Structure 1
Amino acid sequence: MTRPEPQYPTIEQTIGHTPLVRLQRIPGELGTPRGNVILGKLEGNNPAGSVKDRPAMSMISRAEARGDIKPGDTLIEATSGNTGIALAMAAAIKGYRMILIMPDDLSVERRAAMTAYGAELILTPAAGDGVSKGMEFARDLAERMQREGKGRVLDQFANPDNPLAHIEGTGPEIWQQTGGRITHFVSAMGTTGTITGVSTYLKQQNPAVQIVGAQPEDGSRIPGIRKWPEAYLPKIYEPARVDRLEYVSQTEAEAMARRMAASEGIFCGISAAGALCVALRVAAEVRDATIVFIVCDRGDRYLSTGVFNA
């Protein structure tokens, strides 16, 4: 009898379908005693380690399918880290040269991961005079390089293929994993692709699902969460798809990241911890709710910052 040929996935096919896990200790009186369930979507389980694997592969694959790019082309992107790592992986899989532009104050682990996948890294000043500094400066430089013919900018901030990855992937997974019981969705807001895409899908299933965005308090620097100046607000962002904004301090988010690792065994980044801070605020206001938050990456990406040493 001939054995059937085993079917092995490619690395691309392992993106998505991440676990949704129930928090056991941190919710305390805000959880079971109130009938609430707080669930974390473990996006660090993606092959390049973050939720950004989804839009990275979406942007490259769909651009290729349209004939906008072809293997061997040079791609350019401004990034604060996770998207860059994911794009570097996707470019390696698909056969593209990747140039990533990144503020110079972000963790060495992120830089090393990008170059490990073969990407070229350009560091820009994290601070400077006027508005154009940090990510704003990086985005301006990416656009200038494209005008100079040095490559094509995928532009995660304006590319509809970014939220589409979550309309077709993350949102349906959450709906299916909760059996349609989800009442609240909480996500950090950076490029806003995750919250925009997941909201689009969940609101189609049940308009009553509440979408809550986590943003940094004034003066707080939380990798992966930010408020943009009006001129740089992501074009993919649709304010009507977010029911509520909550603001998180850097101190609060960092303390929660340490607590998640020590109390729940969930080793995650600072923006994910900020999302949990917001999820707990929501839990304090409601009963019999199913609250899902995005655990957007892994904590090993932040070890050199010392945040887990406190």
Structure 2
Amino acid sequence: EAYDFGIGKTPIFSFSHENGSNVYAKLEYFNRFGSIKDRAAFFMIKKAIQGSGGSLNKVIVEGSSGNTGIAIGYIATELGVTAEIIVPPGISPGTLEELKKTGANIIMSTGETNSVSTEGAINQAKKKARDNPGLFINLYQHGNESNTMSHVYTTGPEIEEALGKVPDYVAIGMGTGGSITGIGKYFKERSRKTKVYLIHPDDSSFIQGLRNFVSAKDKKIVLDNIDLIDGFLTITAEKAFSAVKHLADNYGIYAGHSSGANYYGAMELARSSGPADIVTVFPDSGVKYHDLYKARKLLSEEFMTELERKIRNVPSGSILLRN
């Protein structure tokens, strides 16, 4: 059903390492609404509708830093459901602009000690639904099993079909934890030899869409599936941004900085593991971070415009693209 909605079956890009390893990155910004969160949002909303007897008359309220909110906003609107997205005050201008297009009601969270943290937004959404159960429903992406299962049912099988094999490693960043637990669960059930590594920023770094495992407060999905995790890879924001530039300069890939973090972490794992097949995901593109990249002088205005145009020219479908 997600496929009929234009979600899933995204292409995979293959990167070769000099030691014989291959890193396979699922380009999730080719989902209909621009990110990997389209999958989880669709599954969570559909489950909520089914749980309400086929018609959801409550308002979906969710705390989000961007991609989940965008996906929920667009999908809920198309399915005839009202959505309210609570966002941190430090949300990027590009993300906020996209959120406003979705048809959802956008509210800034209050009382944040960190302007870019989603913790306050998440807590406000949970409280609003708890205090008004007849009016609101909180999908709670950080603890919703449908988040994980969306990747067990779609992303994992798509990767195996495209590669024609089970990878040696899965290396993915922790946002809500849905993608790493879902893809990890799928492949661990296929082979006991597959190892799963969680990529996260160090405690002093901010990487949009990723959270530090130790300091993150809402990590129920990961804790519920902690037996899937074999190791951790810690990345600095500077490494993530350097990877964004590397991907743009060398491959013409316009990646978001969580994608940069996943690429850097997966390549580090490739360096240390010897010849191996490693799977990761690129959650979103750099389109929403245009102003941020410009401010950091990461990429030129002209180059970013060219890269954005190139995104539209990549063939659709769950196919394998080689560099």
1:45 aligns with 2:30: yes
Alignment correspondent of 1:195: 180
Give the aligned partner of residue 40 of structure 2.
Answer: 55
- Is 1:136 the counterpart of 2:119 in the alignment? yes
Which letter maps to 2:297? N
The match for 1:4 is none
- Hey, what's the Cα distance between the residues in 2 that align with 1:168 and 1:289? 25
- CA–CA separation in structure 2 for the residues paired with 1:65 and 1:184: 35
Residue 21 of structure 2 is aligned to residue 21 of structure 1: no
Instruction: Give the Å deviation of 1:228.
Output: 5.4
Q: Say what the alpha-carbon RMSD is for the aligned residues.
A: 2.2
How much has 1:13 moved relative to structure 2? 2.5
Task: Map Cα deviations across residues 24-50 of structure 1 (whole Å, 9 max, x no partner).
Answer: xxx5xxx1x422112110000001100
Q: 2:108 aligns with which of 118, 123, 129?
A: 123
Check the 8 A contact 2:86/2:121 in 1, yes or no: yes
Q: Which residue of structure 2 aligns with residue 161 of structure 1? A: 146
3-state SS in 1 of match to 2:24: strand
Question: Contact 1:217/1:248 (CA < 8 Å) preserved in 2?
Answer: yes
Whether contact under 8 Å (2:33, 2:70) holds in the other structure is yes
Q: 8 Å contact 2:2–2:42 — kept in the other structure?
A: no
1:280 aligned partner: 267
Determine the C-alpha separation between the residues in 2 that align with 1:286 and 1:306: 32
1:133 positional shift: 8.5
Q: Which residue of 2 aligns with 1:253?
A: 240
Gaps of 5+ in 1: 1-8
Query: For the residues of structure 2 that align with 1:61 and 1:159, how far apart are their CA atoms?
Result: 12
Q: Which residue of structure 1 lines up, in the alignment, with residue 251 of structure 2?
A: 264
* SS of residue paired to 1:285: helix
- Does the 8 Å CA contact 2:166/2:191 hold for their aligned counterparts? no
Q: Is the 8 A contact 2:91 2:116 kept in 1?
A: no
Task: Give runs of aligned pairs for residues 1-150 of structure 1, distance below 5 A.
Answer: 13-23=5-15, 31=17, 33-67=18-52, 70-125=55-110, 127-128=112-113, 134-149=117-132, 150=135
Overall identity of the aligned pairs, in %: 28
Q: Distance in 1 between matches of 2:2 and 2:209?
A: 28
Q: How far 1:147 moved relative to its partner?
A: 2.4
C-alpha displacement of 1:68: 6.3
1:81-103 CA-partner distances (Å, limit 9, x unpaired): 11111111110121111100111
Please give the per-residue CA displacement for 1:216-257, whole angstroms capped at 9, x wherever unaligned: 112100011112567823222122111111110011101111
Matched length: 293
Alignment of structure 1 residues 174-193 onto 2, 5 Å: 174-193=159-178
- Structure 1 residues 219 and 69: alpha-carbon distance in aligned structure 2, compared to 1, 3 A threshold: farther
**Runs in 1 of length 4+ with deviation above 4 angstroms?**
9-12, 228-231
**How many Å separate the matches in 1 of 2:216 and 2:197?**
23
Question: Given the superposition, is the C-alpha separation of residues 71 and 12 from structure 1 closer, same or farther in structure 2, using an over 3 Å criterion?
Answer: farther
Q: Decide whether the 8 Å contact of 1:14 with 1:46 is kept in 2.
A: yes
- Using the alignment, how far apart are the partners of 2:119 and 2:111 within structure 1? 9
SS in structure 2 opposite 1:223? Answer: coil
Alignment CA distance shift 1:133-1:52 (3 Å) = closer
| 2:23/2:277 contact within 8 Å kept | yes
Q: 1:172-215, CA deviations, whole angstroms, 9 ceiling, x for partnerless residues?
A: 11122111141111111010010011111100001111111110
Deviations 1:105-129 (A, max 9, x none): 1211111211201011111258428
**Equivalent residue number for residue 313 of structure 2:** none
Mapped to 2, the partners of 1:153 and 1:219 lie a distance apart of: 30
Structure 2 residues not aligned, in runs of 5+ = 299-323
Kindly indicate whether the alpha-carbon contact (under 8 Å) linking 1:56 and 1:162 is maintained by their aligned counterparts in 2. Answer: yes
Which residue is 2:297 aligned to? Answer: 309
Normalised by the length of structure 1, the TM-score is 0.88
Measured in 2, the distance between the counterparts of 1:228 and 1:247 equals 10
